[in-house]
């Protein structure tokens, strides 16, 4: 299995380099940072030209030459500077930490909840729970995440109004003075939970619907499998037979799908951060595209490419753990 994972890692690494390079070339070739630099430097033509050259953003320099300069910096861990002249690297890690706090909890909840509901719906196929879960999943799939986020905000506002308490917040990460105990004994921690609840729920619901439908389909494929019927014939209860013998097989295809949802999670994060006022990586990318900040967009795409690589590698590890055939006959 070690050789299998090493080969997969090498493949993902090559794809990551290609993806990050293409992202920089597209950003550098299409974005126009001149106006943002002009506003920052005061508008003097000579100052604008000098600053563009210093930032490796001058459009008179051939694109391959700019790419090599950028790539050599990335190898050293330097992603350049923003159009305001601030280092990209420090702000990148700070924003990444904000995004991880938001997306990690939502992704885990969405995956776990989707798998559980999909298994339950498959086990109750044709009955009322299956219809209710299926209808709810289809409804969530039909609603864009930015519309879902607005619905959650309206519901939270109604809840706060009905209780007369500010139970849920939906703007920013925390409120000033929260550390002084504005939410009872929990203080700042309770305030963070209040702000984290709605955006996490938006991310989780967007993922839950996808995993639920996919898990239900894979679970239905194993309900009539020979090994499940054999387990039932030996006296094992239906629920225990499905959980012990069917679920493990049904989850294997989902591990492959997990890698492909990494990009969807990042896209969801961009909308959620913008709507809920979280100053994470997604919000930074949207603002940077607006002002033509090439280095920020390229750095964020590098992080996204690495995230997809890690998701793919994690998917391969899970598949190898759950499926003995991968360990015995790796491809």
Q: Which two tokens stand for residue 146?
A: 């930015």
Distance CA 64, CA 24 (A): 11
Percent of the chain with pLDDT over 90: 16
DSSP 179: G
Say which DSSP state 168 is in. -
Q: Are 321 and 329 in contact (CB under 8 A)?
A: no
Q: Are 273 and 282 in contact (CB under 8 A)?
A: yes
pLDDT band at 1 (very low <50, low <70, confident <90, very high): low
Q: What is the pLDDT of residues 41-66, one digit of tens each?
A: 776 788 888 888 998 998 888 999 99
When the pLDDT of each residue in the chain is averaged and rounded to a whole number, the result is 82
Q: Is 95 exposed, middle or buried (0-12, 13-18, 19+ CB in 10 A)?
A: buried
Whether 303 maps to a domain, the answer reads yes
The 3-class SS string of 313-330 reads: HHHHHHHHHHCHHHHHCC
Residues 6+ apart with CB under 8 A from 150: 275
- Do 273 and 7 touch, CB atoms closer than 8 A? no
Per-residue pLDDT of 71-100, as tens digits, reads 999 999 899 999 888 899 999 999 998 888
pLDDT at 298: 93
Assign 182 a pLDDT band (cuts: 50, 70, 90): very low
The answer to which of 115-124, 209-218, 247-256 has the lowest mean pLDDT is 247-256
Q: Is the pLDDT of residue 297 over 60?
A: yes
Q: Domains in the chain: how many in total?
A: 1
Examine residue 161 and state whether it is found in any structural domain, yes or no.
no
Q: Could you tell me how far CA 208 lies from the centroid of its own chain?
A: 13
Query: Does the pLDDT of residue 177 top 60, yes or no?
Result: no
Q: Where are the alpha helices (DSSP H) in the chain?
A: 2-30, 34-41, 45-54, 63-75, 88-123, 128-142, 145-163, 187-223, 226-233, 238-241, 247-276, 281-291, 294-322, 324-328
Residue 22 located in a structural domain: yes
Burial classification of residue 129, based on how many CB atoms lie within 10 Å of its CB (0-12 exposed, 13-18 middle, 19 or more buried): middle
Residues in CB range of 228: below 8 A, 6 or more apart? 222, 241, 242, 245, 246
CA–CA distance, 80 with 77 (Å, rounded to integer): 9
What is the reported pLDDT for 249?
A: 75
Mean pLDDT of 109-120: 89
Between CA 6 and CA 115 the distance in angstroms is 29
CA-wise closest residue to 100 among 306, 287, 254: 306
Task: Report if residue 77 sits inside a domain.
Answer: yes
Side-chain-side CA neighbours of 228 within 13 Å: the count stands at 21
Q: Average the pLDDT over each of 65-74, 112-121, 244-253, 262-271 and give the range with the smallest value.
A: 244-253
CB 137 within 8 A of CB 209: yes
pLDDT band at 234 (very low <50, low <70, confident <90, very high): confident
Q: Is residue 32 part of a domain?
A: yes
Looking at residues 225-251, what average pLDDT do you find? 72
Task: Look up the pTM and report it.
Answer: 0.79
Burial call 303-315: b when 16+ CB within 10 Å, e when fewer: bbbebbbebbbeb
Query: Which residues does 205 contact at the CB level (< 8 Å), separation at least 6?
Result: 110, 140, 148
Instruction: Say if 167 falls within a structural domain.
Output: no
The average pLDDT across 255-268 equals: 78
Residue 10 included in any domain: yes
Number of Cβ within a 10 Å radius of residue 265:
21
| Confidence band for 24, pLDDT divided at 50, 70 and 90 | very high
254 within a domain of the structure (yes/no): no
Quote the percentage of the chain above a pLDDT of 70.
88
For residue 178, pLDDT over 70 is answered with: no
State the sign of the Cα–Cα–Cα–Cα dihedral 274, 276, 281, 287.
positive
- Domain coverage including residue 305: 1-83+292-331
């Amino acid at each position: 299995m070690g050789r299998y994972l090493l080969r997969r890692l090498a493949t993902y690494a090559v794809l990551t380099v290609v993806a990050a390079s293409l992202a920089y070339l597209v950003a550098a070739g299409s974005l126009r940072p001149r106006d943002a630099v002009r506003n920052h430097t005061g508008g003097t033509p000579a100052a604008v030209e000098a600053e563009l050259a210093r930032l490796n953003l001058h459009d008179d320099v051939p694109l391959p030459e700019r790419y090599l300069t950028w790539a050599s910096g990335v190898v050293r861990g330097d992603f350049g500077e923003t159009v305001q002249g601030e280092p990209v690297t420090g702000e990148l890690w700070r924003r990444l930490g904000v995004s991880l706090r938001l997306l990690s909890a939502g992704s885990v909840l969405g995956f776990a909840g989707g798998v559980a509901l999909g298994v339950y719906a498959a086990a109750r196929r044709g009955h009322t729970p299956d219809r209710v879960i299926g209808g709810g999943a289809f409804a969530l799939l039909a609603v864009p995440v930015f519309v879902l986020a607005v619905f959650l905000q309206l519901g939270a506002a109604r809840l706060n109004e009905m209780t007369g308490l500010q139970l849920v917040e939906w703007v920013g990460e925390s409120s000033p003075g929260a550390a002084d105990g504005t939410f009872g004994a929990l203080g700042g921690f309770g305030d963070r939970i209040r702000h984290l609840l709605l955006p996490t729920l938006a991310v989780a619901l967007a993922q839950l619907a996808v995993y639920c439908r996919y898990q239900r389909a894979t679970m239905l494929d194993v309900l009539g499998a020979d090994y499940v019927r054999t387990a039932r014939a030996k006296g094992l209860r239906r629920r225990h037979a499905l959980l012990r013998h069917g679920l493990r097989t049904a989850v294997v295809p989902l591990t492959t799908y997990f890698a492909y949802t990494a990009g969807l999670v990042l896209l969801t994060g961009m909308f959620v951060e913008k709507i809920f006022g979280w100053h994470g990586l997604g919000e930074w990318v949207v603002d940077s595209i607006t002002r033509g900040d090439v280095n920020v967009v390229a750095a964020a795409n590098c992080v996204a490419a690495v995230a997809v690589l890690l998701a793919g590698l994690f998917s391969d590890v899970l598949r190898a753990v759950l499926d003995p055939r991968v360990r015995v006959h790796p491809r």
